[in-house]
Amino acid sequence: MSFALTPERQREAEEIFSRYPNKLAACIPLLHLCQEQHGWVSSEVIDFVADRCEVTTAHVQGVVTFYSLFNQQPVGRHQIWVCRTLSCALGGAGEILRHCEKRLGIRAGETTPDGRVTLRTAECLAACGQGPVMQVDKTYHEHLTIEQVDRILDGLLAGDEK
């Protein structure tokens, strides 16, 4: 089955292309747009982006595999990223990660059986002075404690957006 953008996202794609000097330069923003709609970057999405950007599928696949922001398989409705860089690790990020794994019943890199949450680690979330840090979808949570993590997870597991 081939991939296609919704009419609204098609308009967004045209706006993306209008901002760049050539189609190749729009590859990453177009991938983000497609992933936002589809949830992950499937082979059909890669074909679509390659066609629209007038590049090879190998080029698009290279972009997708290089950047950890692109999901190469289906993920949960929510994604939790726990920073594990040195400053966050010194602030207790390892404990935060282990607590998330225990509460969710999964390991980093896995998705809960109900498909609600995917847990991941990040090398750096660029908030080194605010660690430990966790990103839930597009929202940062800084200076985390186990109690704060529990409130965040309770909300996600209860169906709240964040």
pLDDT tens digits, one per residue of 94-126: 999 999 999 999 999 999 999 999 999 998 888
Token pair in block for residue 97: 């990660």
pLDDT tens digits, one per residue of 41-87: 999 999 999 999 999 999 999 999 998 889 999 999 999 999 999 99
SS percent in the chain: helix, strand, coil, step 5? 50, 10, 40
What one-character-per-residue DSSP string does 79-117 give?
Answer: EEEEE-SHHHHHTTHHHHHHHHHHHHT--TT-B-TTSSE
Phi and psi, residue 79, nearest 5°: -120, 130
Q: Which of 25-29, 59-63, 70-74, 150-154 has the lowest mean pLDDT?
A: 70-74
Judged against a pLDDT cut of 70, whether residue 145 lies above it is answered with: yes
Domains of the chain: 7-66 (1.10.10.1590), 78-157 (3.40.30.10)
Upper half-sphere CA count for residue 9 (Cβ side, 13 Å): 14
- Residue 68 has a pLDDT of 81
